[in-house]
Amino acid sequence: MSEHETTAEPGGEPTRRDFLFLTTGMAAVVGGATVAWPFIDQMRPDASTLALASVEVDVSSLSEGMSLTVQWRGRPVFIRNRTEEEVEAAQAVELAELKDPVARNENIPNAEATDLNRSAGEGMENWIVMIGSCTHLGCVPLGQAGDYNGWFCPCHGSHYDTAGRIRRGPAPENLPVPPFEFISDSMIRIG
């Protein structure tokens, strides 16, 4: 055995070789983490995406019959304070007349497409919040237009009623309702 070669006896003192194994292993762990971190970090959502995860909208200036379009997650969202006549017209529609009988409301999954299930809820039926992207090919429909005075997609002729339900045309589904809630009498949080 040479003077530089050392071995530890069972239960003996650690040797120079033990120290080198330990420090080499630690250097490998730190180096691996340093190399892997940029790949792991790039999988996190971008700050701009996180900022759009929810948006608060002041609707105090929307009187009856007015609409507002805001951006949420890069998509237009229609907010409308419907008139009493629009609410009554939407409530009068029989479910059997609808092309899509599902509400498509993320706040109440698997609900029927009644006007109440598409609106902000009991006592707030005049408020409707929907993603403003036609369910056919993603065009942005025009408001207070079409055969049902709701939304009309001029690109391919989809007609939605005042509750955002598809009534005629190639669109297969109702305009989706995003998760939203009134956090005060005049403020809506979407997302």
For the domain spanning 50-190, the CATH number is 2.102.10.10
Q: Which of 4, 136, 156, 159 is catalytic?
A: 156
- Higher-pLDDT residue of 40 and 178 is 178
- List pLDDT tens digits, range 87-109: 999 999 999 999 999 999 999 98
Task: Indicate the Cα dihedral angle 61, 62, 63, 64, nearest 10°.
Answer: -170
Look-up: residue for tokens 């995860």? 53
How high is the mean pLDDT of the chain? 87
Domains of the chain: which residue ranges?
1-44, 50-190
- List pLDDT tens digits, range 151-169: 999 988 999 999 999 999 9
Residue 38 is encoded by which pair of tokens? 């940029």
Q: Which of 1-5, 15-19, 29-33, 58-62 has the highest mean pLDDT?
A: 58-62
* Reported pTM: 0.71
Residue 159 falls in the annotated catalytic set: no
Task: Indicate the Cα dihedral angle 171, 129, 90, 166, nearest 10°.
Answer: 0
- Does residue 132 register a pLDDT over 70? yes
Amino acid at 156: H
Residue 180 is encoded by which pair of tokens? 């939203």
